[in-house]
Amino acid sequence: MALQRHHLSLLFIMFSFVACHSTVLFDDGSTFKDFIKQKSTDVLSLKKFVKLGDISSSLKTVNVNDYGARGDGKTDDTQAFNDAWEVACSSGGAVLLVPENNYLLKPFRFSGPCRSNIEVQISGTIEASENLSDYSEDLTHWLTFDSVEKLSVKGGGTIHGNGNIWWQNSCKVNEKLPCKDAPTALTFYKCNDLTVEDLTIKNGQKMQVSFQDSENVKVSGLTVTAPGDSPNTDGIHVTNTQNIQISSSVIGTGDDCISIVSGSKDVLATDIICGPGHGISIGSLGAGGSKDFVSGITVKGAMLSGTTNGLRIKTWQGGSGSASNIQFQNIQMDNVTNPIIIDQNYCDQETPCEEQKSAVQIRNVMYQNIKGTSASDVGVQFDCSNNFPCQGIVLQNIDLQLEGGGGAKASCNSVELSYRGDVIPLCP
């Protein structure tokens, strides 16, 4: 597995330096979309090596079937999972095993702290109850790991949120309906020294997977999917989390592939395939006059295809704080509507947002080796605050052309900008 991941990583890095158009990229005539399809297959194939897991003989195995789980996709297995988790959590090191069956669960919290290290081996499918009344106590979470230290969750299985029933009742789908909360499919809350790898998370009710208030997190080999028109279904959401690495993952949803918000620091995302979706976003920040900080964000080696945004930093007027020390490196764009965008006038509400005097300061942002095609005329857009201009923005080796041919444009307002190497397009 390690060799396959190393090979995949090298392909990403090599590919990112190729100056190309969106049609033919390789000597064999294969296209960018062919490459995306193949890399998706490569990532998915990693799961074959962990389908049953590599369970250490020194750990106690706790099989949910031994505690009454039916795994027929019809019977509520929540109580069985609860009983099995209590045993695993109270043991001196254990593996919670979810075999290759289909387990139906109501909202459930894997609560810690636990006595010792825990490994959760998901080889089957965990599927969400579609009965909305089951979420009456908490409309915002379905599966949650809460305060579990040194946790590992893996196994090649699937977390299935059955989100369709929630999307149908969303005000963003039907404007006549009132706006209500919906659950995040999988949440890791206050989980330090966490490893999550080789899982599929699909059709989450709202956000797919969220890392919140955690430290020292490693995420790899995830496949995160939801339809492109599903509302607010962010793929991987990072909030108030430090030292998190996200690698070798395929994400396609109805919202941001990766969203990074306040309190997040030292975030590294490598070898990411994104699309459909809204791209890779930092923010939104500063909503409701809040003071928000993010720093030390690096996205290195990514492919974005058909997304509504590429690399986006978005902040509300009226907020404060900063988004700083950010690097976007070795990125390939294919038919992306807003490939590079900073928006300090973000407004996600029905009525126009009033002009404010304060803003979240954006500074020290590097865009390096970014190539491909834009679906809109403007390939680079910096819409920064007049009172708090963007500072230390660097464009190096940028080549963004219009999808179908022709040169893209740049739109730049209140930005302190410098160029290195060849940059297309340039600000007027």
Active site residues: 278
* Backbone phi, psi, residue 7, to 5°: -65, -45
- Please give the Cα distance from 38 to 359 (Å, whole number): 42
- Please give the Cα distance from 228 to 150 (Å, whole number): 34
Q: For residue 421, with 0-12 CB atoms within 10 Å meaning exposed, 13-18 middle and 19 or more buried, which class applies?
A: exposed
Structure-block tokens of residue 103? 């387990």
Which residue, chain included where needed, has tokens 């020292």?
A: 216
| 354 secondary structure, DSSP code | P
Which bin fits 264, alpha (ψ -120 to 50), beta or left (φ > 0)? beta
- Please give the Cα distance from 52 to 186 (Å, whole number): 21
Element (H, E) at 168: helix 164-168
CB 295, CB 262: distance < 8 Å:
no
How large is the C-alpha radius of gyration of the chain?
22
Coil, helix or strand for 317? coil
The string of DSSP letters for 248-284 reads EEEEE-SS-SEEE-TT-EEEEEEEEEE-SSS-EEEEE
Length, in residues, of the chain: 428
Element (H, E) at 8: helix 2-16
Structure-block tokens of residue 74? 């019809």
Coil, helix or strand for 214? coil
Crossing angle between the packed helical segments 32-45 and 2-16, to the nearest 10 degrees:
160
CA-CA-CA-CA torsion sign (193, 259, 328, 362): negative
Cα distances from 204 to residues 125, 136, 195, 395, in angstroms, run 13, 17, 20, 36
Coil, helix or strand for 197? strand
